[in-house]
């Protein structure tokens, strides 16, 4: 029995007589043989593994879902995923990419990449790179969600219920950054809100909007305290509002807290809609929100990467994921 024959039965290729196959399979069972994938990788110069770099705002369920989607897509196609948490730091992100490159992964997906140079690093090394949520590098493929459409749907839902005086709480909107930068998600959500109101013949007044500044927390997301304090400000400066769109579930949760403290009933006195659909379902009242298909995003990103690996050519496609409005119990017609 030669190793070549064994290799042939293991992979079902080449010619091998039924009898030999029989004998080899027998021997494999008895010897408790287990294929050594690292030798295989070395020889094939292909590792069937992908890097997943993300930024764990520890309190943010978003990344967890993406990771699970990624893991599932990879598993279904026989790939492995190497997990790195760069915690929003460009230096750590860089080190993660280097480590992945040393390990000869076939591709890396960035969930909310921090530095464009890091994704270019992967590209230059000749492997495929996919960006999730934030487009930093024009050469990489990406999976993004249409924040504008999502926020439009949220606002129009409120308008459809009869609301006109609708407030907004969200992340600070940086001035004039280009369309595909890091700020785009927050700006898109805000713009969609403003445009929708405008279309309804009720452009928002300045006092209806509270968006920053606030101290950015780990990972760059507004926390629940932020939401509460924004809501309080909004109540003071625009008491006539009948509904509020929040740029994230986290912010909405904070808003709900401050409203609860004040004894104001949701949705009876005020409607609230969130964004993300992370723990929206668990709040009291259950929060109407715009679902981001986080699992699907992770899934698609990995599938895209694998497609490029198997298929050869790497193009900079941008895959769009649709959001979905989930109506629960925090929205109702105005009082």
Q: What is the DSSP letter of 222?
A: -
Contact with DNA (CB under 7 A) among 25, 44, 203, 205: 44
Residue 20 interacts with which of DNA, its own copies, none, CB < 5 to 8 Å by class: DNA
Site residues (CB under 8 A) for its own copies, limited to 78-97: 80-85
Looking at 29, 30, 31, 45, which residue binds DNA (CB under 7 A)? 45
b/e per residue 172-211 (b: at least 16 CB within 10 A): ebeeeeeeeebbbbbbbbbbbbbebbeebeeebeeebbbb
Which ranges of the chain would DSSP assign to H, the alpha helix? 3-11, 18-31, 37-44, 61-76, 90-102, 116-124, 147-160, 184-199, 224-237, 249-262, 294-311
Tokens of 18: 């039924």
Q: How far is the CB of 119 from its own copies (least distance, A)?
A: 17
| Closest residue by Cα to residue 132 from 312, 333, 324, 302 | 302
Query: 184-243: which residues touch its own copies (CB under 8 A)?
Result: 224
The reply on whether position 16 binds DNA by CB under 7 A is yes
Asked if 310 is part of the footprint of DNA (rule: CB under 7 A), the reply reads no
With b for 16 or more beta-carbon neighbours within 10 A and e for fewer, the 45-80 pattern comes to eebbbbbbbbbbbeebebbebbbebbbebbeebebe
By the rule CB under 7 A, 27 interacts with DNA: no
Q: Which does 8 bind (CB under 5 to 8 A by kind): its own copies, DNA, none?
A: DNA
Among 27, 42, 174, 284, binds DNA (CB under 7 A): 42
If one asks whether residue 118 binds its own copies (CB under 8 A), the answer comes out as no
In sequence order, what DSSP letters do the residues of 253-290 get, joined into one string?
Answer: HHHHHHHHHHT--TTTT-EEEEEE-SSGGGSSSPPEEE
User: Given candidates 5, 7, 20, 72, which one binds its own copies under the rule CB under 8 A?
Assistant: 72
Q: Which of 5, 7, 20, 59 binds its own copies (CB under 8 A)?
A: 59
Q: Which residues of this chain interact with its own copies, rule CB under 8 A? A: 34-39, 41-42, 47, 49, 52, 56, 58-59, 61, 63-65, 67-68, 71-72, 75, 80-85, 98-99, 101-104, 125, 224, 250, 253-254, 256-257, 259-261, 279, 281-286, 295
Q: Which residues of this chain interact with DNA, rule CB under 7 A? A: 1-5, 7-8, 10-11, 13-17, 19-20, 35-36, 39-40, 42-45
């Amino acid at each position: 029995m030669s190793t070549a024959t064994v290799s042939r039965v293991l992979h079902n290729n080449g010619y091998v007589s039924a009898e030999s196959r029989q004998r080899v399979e027998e021997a494999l069972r008895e010897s408790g043989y287990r294929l050594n994938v690292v030798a295989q990788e070395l020889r094939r110069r292909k590792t069937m593994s992908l890097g997943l770099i993300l930024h764990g705002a520890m309190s943010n369920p978003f990344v967890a879902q993406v990771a699970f989607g990624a893991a599932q897509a990879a598993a279904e196609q026989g790939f492995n995923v190497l997990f790195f948490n760069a915690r929003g730091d460009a230096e750590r992100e860089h080190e993660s990419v280097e480590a992945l490159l040393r390990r000869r992964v076939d591709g890396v997906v960035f969930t909310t990449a921090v530095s464009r140079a890091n994704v270019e690093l992967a590209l230059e090394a000749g492997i495929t790179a996919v960006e999730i949520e934030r487009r930093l590098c024009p050469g990489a493929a990406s999976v993004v969600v249409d924040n504008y459409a999502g926020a439009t749907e949220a606002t129009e839902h409120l308008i459809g219920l009869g609301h006109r005086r609708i407030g907004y709480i969200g992340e600070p909107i940086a001035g004039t950054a280009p369309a595909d930068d890091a700020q785009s998600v927050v700006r898109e959500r805000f713009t969609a809100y403003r445009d929708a109101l405008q279309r309804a013949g009720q452009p928002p007044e300045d006092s209806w909007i509270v968006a920053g500044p606030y101290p950015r927390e780990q990972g760059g997301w507004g926390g629940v305290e932020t939401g509460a304090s924004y809501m309080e400000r909004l109540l003071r400066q625009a008491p006539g509002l009948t509904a509020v769109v929040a740029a994230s579930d986290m912010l909405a949760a904070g808003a709900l807290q401050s409203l609860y403290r004040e004894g104001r009933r949701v949705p009876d006195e005020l409607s609230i809609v969130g964004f993300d659909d992370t723990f929206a379902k668990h709040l009291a009242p259950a929060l109407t929100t715009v679902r981001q298909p986080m699992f699907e995003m992770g899934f698609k990103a990995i599938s895209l990467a694998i497609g490029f690996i198997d298929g050869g050519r790497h193009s900079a496609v941008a895959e769009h994921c649709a959001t979905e409005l989930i109506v629960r119990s925090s929205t109702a017609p105005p009082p």
